[in-house]
């Protein structure tokens, strides 16, 4: 644990300027992840700029009918928002499946997206970890990796991104609004996260000092029939082993017109399952079709020694989620 200064951000521009001008500064949201890292020595900033009090704490309708969720909105408030619950139920479900009520009351939307992996070695400064100390090695590769990636990993890092929220957002094609030292930009959540490659220390494409100000949800009528299915080791208060965010739109004849699918707990980023989606369009809502979709997506999966089960679990979670949405489980 290192001593640090604390500043309450005045406005977005100053916060961005302060953090981009100091390589040892960090934004602070609800602190539910960062403060743990301060105690553990995983993060050692000398300045915290608290952005949780910025006026980014509202859920607003966008002119095109979409929704803008401020980055400082608390996870619990977003999950309770009637518009989110009605039009994007998978998002509310994803939020409510995360952490505990107490943590959700503190956690911000921006902080949730940028929370870091729960890989036990990442959180333990006495062990090697490429994500924490580039080049030190990956302890998980041949260690405890039950929770780790089966898709898109590299020999440098096999961690998964822990956010449930992010999984729903990639399925919805949401976009984050970012303010940086060079101005504002919009980043689709599907592009926000990186695969580890040979630079696992970088979770996202954001540059130092870039502040997430909002999350925009596009108009997506099919999201009204959507859900989030999280498979975890205990009934609550556990990170996903595997999770599925899905939305389905059916033709009158019951075949699939369109579908959105994303997996959590399988990769270094929330995993949009484009191949599974392609495999399902035009198909009937049968177990066989769902199975084919899972096969299409998991074809390139490379499980580790102790997480081979995730293949079957991901398949099972996808089938269960789709059956639930299409009423096939009744």
Partner 1 sequence: MIGSPLPRLDGTAKVTGTARYAFEHRVADPAYAYPLQATVARGHITAINTSAAQAVDGVLAVITHENAPHLASTEDAELAVLQSTEIAFRGQVIGAVVADTSETARHAAGLVEVSYDPSPHDAVFTPDRDDLYTPDTVNPSFPTDTSQGDVESALKQSPVVVDHVYTTPMTHNNPLEPHTTVACWHDDQLTLYDSTQGVHSTRQSLAKALGLAPERIRVIAPHVGGGFGSKGQAHAHLVLAAMAAQAMPGRAVKLALTRQQMFSLVGYRTPTVQHVRLGAGPDGRLTAISMDVVEQTSRIKEFAEQTAIPARHMYAAPNRRTTHRLAALDVPVPSWMRAPGECPGMFGPEVAMDELANACGMDPVDLRVLNEPDVDPESGKPFSSRNLVACLREGAARFGWADREHAPRTRREHGWWVGTGVAASTYPVHVKPGSSATVRFQPDGRYRIEIGATDIGTGTWTALTQIAADALSVRVDAIDLRIGDTDLPPATVAGGSSGINSWGSAVVDAARAFRDKFGTGPNPGDEAQGTTPGNSAGERFAMRAFGAQFAEVRVHAATGEIRVPRLLGVFAVGRIINPRTARSQFLGGMTMGMSMALHEQSVLDERFGHVVNHDLAEYHIAANADVAGIEAHWVDETDPHVNPLGTKGIGEIGIVGTAAAIANAAHHATGIRVRDLPLTADKFLADARR
179 within 8 A of 71, measured Cβ to Cβ: no
Enter the tokens of residue 115. 């929370």
The answer to whether 31 contacts partner 1 (rule: CB under 8 A) is no
Which does residue 76 bind out of ligand FAD, ligand SF4, partner 1, none, counting CB within 5 to 8 angstroms by kind? none
Unique residue bearing structure tokens 């980055």: 71
Which does residue 144 bind out of ligand SF4, partner 1, ligand FAD, none, counting CB within 5 to 8 angstroms by kind? partner 1
Binding track over 105-124 against ligand SF4, x by CB under 6 A: ------------x-x-xx--
Enter the tokens of residue 130. 């490429």
Phi/psi of residue 159, nearest 5 degrees: -70, 160
Using CB atoms within 10 A of its CB, is residue 20 exposed (0-12), middle (13-18) or buried (19+)? middle
Enter the tokens of residue 113. 């997206």
Using CB atoms within 10 A of its CB, is residue 17 exposed (0-12), middle (13-18) or buried (19+)? middle
- b/e code 210-221 from CB counts within 10 Å (16+ = b): bbbbbbbbeebe
- Residue 10 Cα distances to 50, 108, 229, 292, 311, angstroms: 9, 18, 39, 52, 47
The answer to whether 127 contacts partner 1 (rule: CB under 8 A) is yes
Which does residue 32 bind out of partner 1, ligand FAD, ligand SF4, none, counting CB within 5 to 8 angstroms by kind? ligand FAD
Which does residue 138 bind out of ligand FAD, partner 1, ligand SF4, none, counting CB within 5 to 8 angstroms by kind? ligand SF4
> Measured between alpha carbons, how far is 213 from 68 in angstroms, rounded to an integer?
10
Residue from 157, 171, 246, 259 touching ligand SF4 (CB under 6 A): that is 157
Of residues 147-206, those binding ligand FAD (CB under 6 A): 162-165
Which does residue 157 bind out of partner 1, ligand SF4, ligand FAD, none, counting CB within 5 to 8 angstroms by kind? ligand SF4
The answer to whether 305 contacts partner 1 (rule: CB under 8 A) is no
Angle between helices 287-298 and 309-326 (to 10 degrees): 140
Residues near ligand FAD, by CB under 6 A: 26-34, 51, 71, 75, 98-99, 103, 106-108, 110-112, 114-115, 162-165, 211-212, 239
Residues near ligand SF4, by CB under 6 A: 117, 119, 121-122, 129-131, 138-140, 157-159, 200
Residues near partner 1, by CB under 8 A: 1-3, 39-41, 118, 120-121, 123-124, 126-127, 139, 142-144, 146, 231-239, 241-242, 309, 312-313, 315-317, 319-320, 323, 329-330
């Amino acid at each position: 644990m290192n001593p640090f200064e604390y500043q309450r951000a005045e406005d977005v521009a100053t916060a961005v300027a302060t953090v981009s001008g100091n390589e040892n500064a960090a934004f602070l949201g609800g602190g539910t992840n960062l403060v743990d890292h301060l105690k553990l020595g995983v993060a050692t900033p000398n300045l915290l700029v608290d952005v949780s009090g910025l006026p980014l704490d509202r859920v607003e309708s966008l002119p095109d009918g979409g929704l803008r969720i401020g980055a400082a909105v608390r996870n619990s408030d977003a999950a309770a928002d009637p518009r989110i619950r009605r039009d994007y139920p998978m998002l509310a479900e994803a939020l409510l499946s995360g952490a505990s009520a107490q943590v959700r009351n503190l956690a911000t939307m921006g902080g949730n997206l940028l929370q870091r992996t729960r890989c036990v070695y990442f959180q333990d400064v006495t062990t090697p970890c490429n994500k924490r100390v580039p080049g030190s090695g990956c302890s998980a590769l041949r260690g405890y990796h039950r929770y780790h990636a089966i898709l898109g990993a590299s020999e440098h890092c096999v961690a998964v991104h822990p956010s449930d929220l992010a999984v729903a957002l990639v399925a919805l094609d949401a976009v984050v609004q970012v303010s940086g030292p060079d101005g504002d930009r919009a980043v689709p959540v599907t592009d926000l996260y990186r695969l580890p490659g040979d630079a696992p220390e970088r979770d996202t494409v954001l540059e130092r000092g870039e502040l997430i100000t909002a999350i925009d949800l596009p108009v997506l009528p099919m999201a009204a029939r959507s859900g989030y299915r999280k498979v975890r080791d205990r009934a609550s208060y556990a990170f996903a082993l595997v999770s599925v965010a899905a939305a389905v739109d059916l033709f009158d004849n019951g075949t699939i017109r369109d579908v959105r699918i994303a997996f959590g707990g399988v990769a270094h980023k929330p995993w949009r399952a484009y191949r599974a989606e392609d495999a399902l369009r035009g198909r009937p809502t049968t177990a066989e079709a769902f199975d084919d979709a899972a096969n299409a997506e998991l074809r390139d999966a490379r499980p580790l020694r102790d997480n081979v089960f995730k293949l079957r679990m991901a398949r099972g979670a996808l089938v269960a989620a789709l059956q639930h949405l299409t009423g096939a489980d009744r």
